[in-house]
């Protein structure tokens, strides 16, 4: 990929199974658009998934599946760098160096560490605590100017910023201090059953989230059972989180503004509105699903994407790691 003067944007998603409508609207859908304005580097964060027990064959299958979804959603490997995190060894190596300037108290205070320690009490491992340092390495290796994050992920980006500043202060300017990139629309899609919570694939209630692999009937059925609010008006408001969430989803998949959607459903019953949202989502996802199913059948193509992406990523990451090793006093390899 040719070098240019655009700002660098880095993002990664764990290949840990189900992709939800929230993942698509909040992140992946926007990545296609971002390639026009930024030098984009996208990773499948498979090393991060190891903090939770995995079935090896399933993890490999999920990695291919996620890559197929990326490409089906418009992420063009010819216009960005798309790679598998574990294929670029510099991620793990930089993590070790950054660990030497990271304090245990910083990591133990991380909200995600506390949450996952509760939900995976039988497997509270050091990787789970060290997750933010690996994430910092992901970002800092590529001198990322911007990192798309949800409002609930800013804490991890703050660690990356702190480590960049700390390293630069101790050994001279090396890392770019990244800034958050938060989408103005659809950045946070909420649960269909509890609109006070973010939509999550780990929700025990399968009606609470839409999987990108759900068939049309399942999508519509889940929206028909979505929790709404008191009253009967279809309008966005703080006291109507259920309807606001559905309006946000409808706006994102149709391209209409929330205000236009409110006018469209003025005077209609909640049941009619929920059915329309479900149909709109199903219509939007159908062509993407067909393209994903086509791509996933061609493993040779995906392996080629991974190989090419890793080669491009490693050229950048290798230069940065060499600079870091030199700064901290390690002897460069001469053979």
Q: What amino acid positions are annotated as catalytic residues?
A: 116, 198, 201
The size of the chain, in residues, is 335
Residue 31 tokens, joined: 């990545």
Beta strands in 73-220 (DSSP E): 81-84, 146-148, 179-181
Q: Hey, what are 143's tokens?
A: 């001198």
In which order are the strands placed within the sheet that holds 39-44?
81-84, 39-44, 8-13, 146-148, 179-181
Residue 55 and residue 239 in contact, taking contact as beta carbons nearer than 8 Å:
no
Q: Which two tokens stand for residue 142?
A: 């590529």
Here the tokens at position 321 are 């790691």
Task: Count how many Cα atoms sit within 13 Å of the Cα of residue 167 in the half-sphere of its side chain.
Answer: 30
| Residue 150: φ, ψ to 5° | -75, 165
Contact by Cβ (8 Å): 28, 75? yes
Return the CA Rg of the chain.
21
What is the distance between the alpha carbons of residues 14 and 24, in angstroms, rounded to a whole number? 13
């Amino acid at each position: 990929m040719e070098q240019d003067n655009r700002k660098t944007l880095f993002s990664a998603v764990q290949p840990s199974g189900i992709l939800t409508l929230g993942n698509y609207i909040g992140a992946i859908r926007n990545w296609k658009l971002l390639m026009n304005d930024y030098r984009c580097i996208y990773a499948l964060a498979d090393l991060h998934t190891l903090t939770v027990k995995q079935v090896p064959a399933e993890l490999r299958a999920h990695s291919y599946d996620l890559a197929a979804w990326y490409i089906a959603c418009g992420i063009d490997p010819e216009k960005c760098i798309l790679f598998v995190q574990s294929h670029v060894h510099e991620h793990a190596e930089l993590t070790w160096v950054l660990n030497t300037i990271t304090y245990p108290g910083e990591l133990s205070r991380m909200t995600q560490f506390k949450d996952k320690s509760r939900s995976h009490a039988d497997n509270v491992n050091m990787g789970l605590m060290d997750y933010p340092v690996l994430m910092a390495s992901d970002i800092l290796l590529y001198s990322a100017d911007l990192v798309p994050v949800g409002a609930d992920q800013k804490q991890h980006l703050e660690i990356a910023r702190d480590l960049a500043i700390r390293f630069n202060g101790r050994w001279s300017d090396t890392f770019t201090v990244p800034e958050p990139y938060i989408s103005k629309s659809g950045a946070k899609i909420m649960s269909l059953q509890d609109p006070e919570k973010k939509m999550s694939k780990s929700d025990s209630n399968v009606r609470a989230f839409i999987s990108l692999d759900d068939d049309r009937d399942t999508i519509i059925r889940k929206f028909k059972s979505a929790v709404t609010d008191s009253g009967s008006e279809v309008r966005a408001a703080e006291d109507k989180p259920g309807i606001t969430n559905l309006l946000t989803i409808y706006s994102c998949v149709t391209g209409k503004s929330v205000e236009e959607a409110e006018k469209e459903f003025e005077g209609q019953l909640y049941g009619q509105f929920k059915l329309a949202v479900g149909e709109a989502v199903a219509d939007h996802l159908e062509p993407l699903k067909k393209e994903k199913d086509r791509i996933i059948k061609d493993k040779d193509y995906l392996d080629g994407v991974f190989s090419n992406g890793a080669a491009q990523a490693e050229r950048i990451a290798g230069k940065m790691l060499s600079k870091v090793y030199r700064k901290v006093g390690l002897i460069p390899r001469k053979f």
